[in-house]
Amino acid sequence: MSDLRLSVETFNMLGINNVLNQTWIQDTGGRQYAIPNYLTQRLFNLKLIVRI
């Protein structure tokens, strides 16, 4: 018996730049800067699974 599955996934449909967290870095002068880590951009995934 074989099985065939096709699925489509959509991430961040509205295209919003959501900040997950911030990484803090320090330069040689002691100043600190926050670098934002964003969630995924708009992505469409197409997945095909075939089991024989």
CA distance 6 to 50: 9
Residue 46, both tokens:
């197409």
What band does 26 get if pLDDT is binned at 50, 70 and 90? very high
pLDDT bin (cut points 50, 70, 90) of residue 40 is: confident
For residue 9, give the nearest of 46, 39, 49, 50 by alpha carbon.
Answer: 46
> In terms of pTM, does the model score above 0.75?
no
Nearest Cα neighbor of 50 from 1, 11, 4 is 4
